[in-house]
């Protein structure tokens, strides 16, 4: 049984207490699931968070870890983000099927805004604003 945590852009979704004992309010945290949303939903959400907060924290448990790593690599390879911190750990969770505690792998990757971020994002913003202007004509 894979436990997944979905994300809602605003306000952030709190992880179950067993998955995240951190009570701080993280406005720039994205908790990634490998089954709930497509990969590029998370990539685009991460871009928006970087734009608003200058950094984003990607977090995942178990099988969703590969999705988080992929998101981080896409953002880094496109020159939009730089890697600031990578944390790995295990988290004790109750297995719903077996009723006992199991260890789940956890990863947290913090990405910062790259020097080229605004320049790279500008063409996308220009195209969107031109399209909006054309629609008004």
The first and second tokens of residue 4, run together, are 């997944």
What letters, b where the CB count within 10 A reaches 16 and e where it falls short, cover 30-65? bbbbbeeeeeeebbebbbebbeeeebbbbbbbbebb
- Is the model's pTM score more than 0.85? no
pLDDT tens readout for residues 20-69: 334 355 789 999 988 889 999 999 999 999 999 999 999 999 999 999 99
Domain boundaries, the chain: 29-136
Selected from 3.20.20.140, 3.40.50.720, 3.90.1150.30, 3.30.110.20, the CATH number assigned to the domain covering 29-136 reads 3.30.110.20
pLDDT tens readout for residues 94-118: 888 878 899 999 999 999 999 999 9
Max CA separation in the chain (angstroms)? 62
CA distance 126 to 131: 9
68: left (phi over 0), alpha (psi -120 to 50) or beta: alpha
């Amino acid at each position: 049984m894979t436990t997944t945590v979905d994300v809602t852009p605003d306000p952030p979704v709190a992880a179950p207490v067993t998955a995240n004992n951190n009570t701080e309010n993280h406005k720039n945290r994205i908790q990634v699931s490998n089954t709930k949303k497509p990969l590029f939903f998370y990539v685009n959400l991460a871009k928006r968070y970087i734009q608003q907060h200058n950094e984003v924290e990607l977090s995942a448990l178990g099988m969703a870890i590969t999705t988080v790593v992929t998101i981080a690599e896409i953002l880094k390879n496109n020159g939009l983000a730089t890697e600031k911190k990578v944390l790995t750990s295990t988290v004790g969770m109750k297995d719903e099927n077996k009723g006992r505690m199991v260890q789940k792998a956890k990863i947290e990757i913090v990405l910062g805004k790259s020097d080229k971020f605004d320049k790279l994002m500008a063409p996308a913003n220009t195209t969107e604003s031109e399209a909006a202007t054309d629609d008004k004509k």
